[in-house]
């Protein structure tokens, strides 16, 4: 009986040890090229979803900012279309889902929402995003299905959604390349860029 209890305790200790080892020393983000949430958006035809998961060590000493910038003819709007800021987690470690949803992308009443672990903004109306009759393209700006390190204080582009300046013409782009992303912003009629930034904790 004592041996059985000892064995269970040893297994539990190993599991806890493995769990601790799996926590990264640095913050990371992972883009999902395919997820059940994205599949739901596709099946219902309600818009686009950019889905991620993140890991945040020292969460009790971190502040997370996520927002969407819009560029029109290469010029950035003065204010983000939507933004989400949170932090001061009582726990030392945090992980979960994060993402951007865009509803009715080609209508006069498009809306978008941001979500993170245990929180979601209500959809915000943003009007018409793209002109009718012009092609659009979208993609992640980080590698898919692998953990990407987020440096403290670094502004990281996570995804892009853009419209070509000419009808029936859209260039094939590698949005994961920083120079390509800059060219997309400079050459496209409308560009939406999802950004994320992790900072030191903000005092209440």
In tens, the pLDDT along 108-161 reads 999 999 999 878 788 999 999 998 888 888 999 999 999 999 999 999 999 999
The rounded distance, in Å, linking the Cα atoms of 88 and 172 is 41
pLDDT of the residue at 68: 98
Q: What is the arithmetic mean of pLDDT over 33-43?
A: 80
pLDDT at 49 over 50: yes
Q: Read off the pLDDT of residues 146-173 as tens digits, 9 standing for 90 and up.
A: 999 999 999 999 999 999 877 656 666 6
pLDDT of the residue at 174: 67
Residue with tokens 């987690």: 89
The rounded distance, in Å, linking the Cα atoms of 41 and 49 is 7
- How wide is the angle at C-alpha 56 spanned by C-alphas 11 and 60, nearest 5°? 100
**Intra-chain end-to-end CA distance of the chain, in Å:** 53
Residue with tokens 């009582």: 90
- Strands of the chain (E only): list them: 27-31, 47-57, 62-72, 75-76, 82-87, 93-103, 110-116, 119-120, 124-127, 136-140, 148-150, 155-163, 190-200
Helices assigned H by DSSP within 105-199: 178-187
pLDDT of the residue at 204: 54
């Amino acid at each position: 009986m004592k041996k059985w209890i000892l064995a269970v305790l040893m297994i539990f200790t190993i599991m806890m040890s493995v769990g601790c080892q799996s926590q990264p020393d640095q913050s990371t983000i992972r883009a999902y090229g395919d997820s059940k949430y994205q599949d739901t958006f596709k099946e219902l035809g309600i818009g686009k979803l950019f889905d991620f998961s993140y890991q945040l060590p020292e969460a009790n000493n971190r502040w997370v900012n996520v927002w969407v910038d819009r560029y029109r003819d290469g010029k950035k709007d003065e204010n983000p279309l939507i933004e989400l800021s949170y932090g001061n987690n009582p726990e030392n470690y945090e992980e979960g889902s994060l993402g951007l949803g865009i509803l009715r992308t080609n209508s006069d009443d498009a809306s978008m929402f941001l979500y993170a672990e245990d929180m979601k903004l209500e959809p915000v109306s943003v009007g018409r995003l793209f002109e009718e009759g012009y092609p659009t393209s979208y993609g992640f700006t980080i590698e898919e299905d692998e953990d990407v390190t987020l440096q403290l204080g670094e502004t990281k582009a996570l995804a892009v959604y853009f419209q070509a300046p000419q009808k029936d013409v859209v260039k094939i782009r590698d949005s994961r390349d920083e120079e390509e992303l800059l060219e997309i912003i400079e050459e496209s009629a409308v560009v939406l860029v999802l950004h994320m930034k992790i900072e030191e904790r903000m005092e209440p």
